[in-house]
Amino acid sequence: MIKAEQKPVEEILDFLDPYNKILLVGCNACVAVCHAGGEKEVGLLASALRMARKNAGKRLEILEDCSTRQCEPEFVDELGEKAGDVEAILSIACGVGVQTLAKRFPEIPVYPGVNTKFMGETEEVGVWAERCQACGNCILHLTGGICPVARCAKQLLNGPCGGSQEGNCEIKKDVPCVWQQIYDRLKAIGQLHRMEQYIPAKKWGQESRDSGPRSIVREDLKL
């Protein structure tokens, strides 16, 4: 899922400075799971913003809402009435949600309340780690289900570099070498021969973000 973390309150206060009435919208999907932009965080941030503004002698009225999924136009449509008389919208969904709101409400300024970080896994409560870079052509079947694109500092596709030391990456001692992990995993599942399988260079200019914004079109689903 998409992982995000709240922007510093002072940064949010700075761009909300000109406004007296805003709509604060969270998203009950990915960002709720990482405790950055769900319903609970809407209440917490709204409270903090009101207190800060009142403390500064400048009141701020905040309408609160939380979309089921802010990246889906039909859920964003439900905000229409509330958005009717606000001066700005603060979204604490991921960057996708912010853009969906901006598209739905072209006449209202929309600001991001979180920094969208990566697609990742929950390692433990309160700890999330990057696992996918949406490179556009998955090779996890060749690497034991562990991604060297997202988890190798150099994105090497055919084994570790010379900086792999005792299972750790040279960039930081507490970062595991993903190629060591891939080797251990392939060995555990009896597919060590895959280490000898050459993985060709990725076509970054055709499959990934390097080729410009991507889209998926399913003609069978379009009405």
Partner 1 sequence: MESLSPRIVAFCCDKSGYVAADMVGKLGMSLPESLEVIRVPCAGRIDAFHMLQALENGADGVLIFACHEENCQSLSGNLIVKARMGYVYGMMEKIGFERERLELCNVATNNGAKFAEAVQRKYDDLKRLGPSPLK
> Which positions lie near partner 1, rule CB under 8 A?
8-10, 40, 43-44, 47-48, 50-52, 54-56
Q: How far is the CB of 113 from partner 1 (least distance, A)?
A: 13
Q: Which residue has the tokens 């084994």?
A: 159
Residue 39 or 72: the one with the smaller Cβ distance to partner 1 is: 39
One-letter amino acid at 128 equals W
Q: Write down the least CB distance from residue 19 to partner 1, Å.
A: 17
Closest approach of partner 1 to the CB of residue 77, in Å: 28
201, 202, 183, 205: which is closest to 193 by C-alpha? 183
- Number of C-alpha atoms within 13 angstroms, CB side, residue 102? 12
What minimum distance in Å lies between the beta carbon of 13 and partner 1? 8
The smaller minimum CB distance to partner 1, of residues 44 and 139, is found at 44
For 133, residues 6+ apart whose C-beta sits below 8 A from its C-beta are: 118, 119, 147, 149, 150
Say whether 191 sits in a helix, a strand or coil.
coil
**CB 123 to partner 1: min, Å:** 17
Q: How many Å apart are CA 21 and CA 125, to the nearest integer?
A: 35
Q: Which is nearer to partner 1, 61 or 210 (CB)?
A: 61
Give dist(CA 77, CA 70) in Å, integer: 10
Closest to partner 1 by CB, 43 or 136: 43
Closer Cβ to partner 1, 32 or 169, answer by number = 32
Q: Which is nearer to partner 1, 38 or 144 (CB)?
A: 38
Instruction: Report the C-alpha gap between 120 and 98 in whole angstroms.
Output: 20
Nearest to 23 by CA among 103, 102, 93, 88: 88
Q: What is the smallest separation between the CB atom of 3 and partner 1, expressed in angstroms?
A: 17
